[in-house]
Structure 1
Amino acid sequence: MTSDLGFTCSCCGDHHAELPMSYSTMAPDVWDPRFESDPDSMLSSDQCVIRGRHFFIRGLIEIPVIGSQDVFSWGVWVSLSKENFARALEVWNTEGREAERPYFGWLSTELALYSEGTTDLKTNAHTRPVGKRPFIELEPTDHPLAVEQRTGITQDRVREIAMAVLHPV
């Protein structure tokens, strides 16, 4: 929860009643609606399989908001190996699953707000208690998204993201 519940948008001039602290995508970037009729493909709110060869889970890249207790998050998809995906499914509803080792994966969501592409950044997906999406940890590189995850962002950056998402170019 944020202490500044609203903001005046510099793009449209309107006052938005709430400053969103998270955004999410519905599917990995490589998902195509035509896959819905493929018996070897599936898309749920948390898992995706494409043609029985590509495996994804949905998780959260969490970014601390500097000077507050708030956390901004991107809901993203990460590709996993077949073995790691099978293991993640095996323990999906198991109490204590947060003790699992992280699963290596590749970020499979393009976040257009970043000048450098985000698809295929190296990640580790950390399983959390049942009912909570995995925490997606980016490899500590100099990519702007990875830097933000490590160092945090300001409330002004959260507003900047909101304006860009609400008013895409």
Structure 2
Amino acid sequence: MSYSTIAPDAWDPSFQSDPNSMLFSDQCVIKGQHFFIRGLIEIPVIGSKDVFSWGVWVSLSKENFAGALDVWNTEGREAEKPYFGWLSTELALYSESTTNLKTNAHTRPVGKRPFIELEPNDHPLAVEQRAGITQDRIREIAIAVLHPA
């Protein structure tokens, strides 16, 4: 019921040797200039209490990234205002690019990845987040992810 990416699309393994770059499970910095957090786009499953989720990366401003890190392990951090960001994960099974969709990253309690809310628009991923998806759609996604053409 979930699929995830290891790094933002802009990450390259060569950055590992750059002292101004780092990739952890939930945060990423590239060359001290680009800042990312990992979160979940959650999509309701129609007719179920289940939720399907995409583990994605969102770019944040330097200031918002610093703010998120300041409270990363702080109880009550979910009271933080959402952080504006840009989706930095290309989900290729959508007919339109998902890269650079506008998002809000909502901090949740310590130990839970942020909830990534897409700007409400006509992009198929944003529509799915608002309207939900069927079990058949989940099967389509599984086939596309596990058996790419």
TM-score by length of 2: 1.00
Counterpart Cα distance in 1 of 2:75 and 2:46: 33
Deviations 1:102-134 (A, max 9, x none): 000000000001000000000000000000000
Measured on the aligned residues, the alpha-carbon RMSD in Å equals 0.2
Counterpart Cα distance in 1 of 2:76 and 2:36: 21
Structure 2 residue aligned with 1:55 = 35
Aligned length: 149
Counterpart Cα distance in 1 of 2:86 and 2:144: 25
Structure 1 residue aligned with 2:19 = 39
User: Could you tell me which of 75, 79, 92 is aligned with 1:99?
Assistant: 79
- Percent identity between matched residues is 87
How far does residue 84 in structure 1 lie from its aligned partner after superposition?
0.2
Structure 1 residue aligned with 2:111 = 131
> What secondary structure does 2:138 align onto?
helix
| Alignment-mate amino acid for residue 100 of structure 2 | D
Counterpart Cα distance in 2 of 1:41 and 1:167: 32
Pair member with larger Rg: 1
> Structure 2: where are the runs of 5+ without partners?
none
> Structure 1: where are the runs of 5+ without partners?
1-20
Deviations 1:68-108 (A, max 9, x none): 00000000000000000000000000000000000000000
1:63-74 aligned at under 5 Å gives the runs 63-74=43-54
Superposition misfits of 4+ residues, deviation over 4 angstroms: none
User: Could you tell me which of 50, 64, 74 is aligned with 1:84?
Assistant: 64
